[in-house]
Structure 1
Amino acid sequence: MEITGKIIAVLPEVGGISKTGNEWKKQEYVLETQEQYPKKVCFQIFGADRIAQANIQAGETVIVSFDIDSREYQGRWFTNINAWKVDRPVAGASADPQMVTPPDFVPGGAPVAPSPAASPMDNPVDDLPF
């Protein structure tokens, strides 16, 4: 899954030692989507090398690829959003896909008047069978 938004909080890095004696680190971030009704999503990155590689700073816009994992503990369910890739949007790629060049626009020239719509009375011969 993937989500895009602005980082509004970088939470402190947390670490420890696992049962097997391995050191672990994780860091959580809060992302706010840029929709009509923005949502806040807290995701985490595991591993000191991945945290350093992502180098996420508050205020920047990122695209986060993640997995969702839920688990049960003592009758309660907990959900984690684990990021596995963080990208920055490419500048200029955010062009509005709905923006369309008007039909009466000629690049490098003067605007062309739109052609008048054909009226049904312009062609008195009707070839339709009904």
Structure 2
Amino acid sequence: MALELVGKLIKVLPEVTGQGKNGPWNKQEFVIETADSQFPKKVCMTAWGDKANDLKQFADGDTLKATFSAESREYNERWYTELRAFRIELVDGDSGVGTPAPARPAGAQQAQARPAQQNQPAAVTFNSAFDEESNDLPF
């Protein structure tokens, strides 16, 4: 199940590395804020391996389109959910379509100004049927 989310990059958390039975691994979490009209949502995602290295080319405030998969697992009778990003693209301000980002040195500020993208609607695509009317939760 592939899902997509478009939003503004607001934070890149420190990279985590380790050693497993298959060799070294690295992951990096990042937070995207959707541009919903009244109630923006913050979503934390995880990038593994080379995708974690790709995050270095983006700066806070960039509008990104992340394609991800959601997976939950149980540990000690508790459930943990991970949103694993497997494609991260810079969103082109004119067409709203994701384009590969140009390479940019880590920590470098973007030289050109970007058009305002705060009013751009968040694009979350689910490949399952969900009816807003059937959501009877009190919150």
What's the TM-score once normalised by structure 2's chain length?
0.63
Alignment of 1:39-78 (within 5 A): 39-47=41-49, 49-54=50-55, 55-78=57-80
| Aligned counterpart in structure 2 of residue 80 of structure 1, from 79, 82, 86 | 82
Indicate the residue corresponding to 1:5 in structure 2. Answer: 7
Gaps (5+ residues) in structure 1?
A: 97-130
Q: CA deviation at 1:57?
A: 2.3
- Distance in 2 separating the partners of 1:14 and 1:4: 24
Indicate the residue corresponding to 1:26 in structure 2. Answer: 27
- Distance in 1 separating the partners of 2:93 and 2:31: 23
- Distance in 1 separating the partners of 2:60 and 2:92: 18
Q: CA deviation at 1:87?
A: 1.0
RMSD between aligned alpha carbons?
Answer: 1.9
- Distance in 1 separating the partners of 2:67 and 2:58: 14
Q: CA deviation at 1:21?
A: 4.8
- Distance in 1 separating the partners of 2:58 and 2:46: 11
Q: Which has the higher contact order (CA 8 A, sep 6+)?
A: 2
Q: Are the structure 2 counterparts of residues 14 and 91 from structure 1 closer, same or farther at C-alpha, using a change threshold of 3 Å?
A: same
Percent of matched pairs sharing the same residue: 38
Q: CA deviation at 1:85?
A: 0.2
Partner secondary structure for residue 88 of structure 1:
strand
- Distance in 1 separating the partners of 2:85 and 2:62: 16
**Corresponding letter in the other structure for 1:27:** Q
**Corresponding letter in the other structure for 1:56:** F
**Which protein has the larger Cα radius of gyration, Structure 1 or Structure 2?**
1
Indicate the residue corresponding to 1:91 in structure 2. Answer: 93
- Distance in 2 separating the partners of 1:84 and 1:46: 8
Q: CA deviation at 1:88?
A: 1.2
**Corresponding letter in the other structure for 2:33:** E
Partner secondary structure for residue 46 of structure 2:
strand
**Corresponding letter in the other structure for 2:69:** D
Partner secondary structure for residue 34 of structure 1:
coil
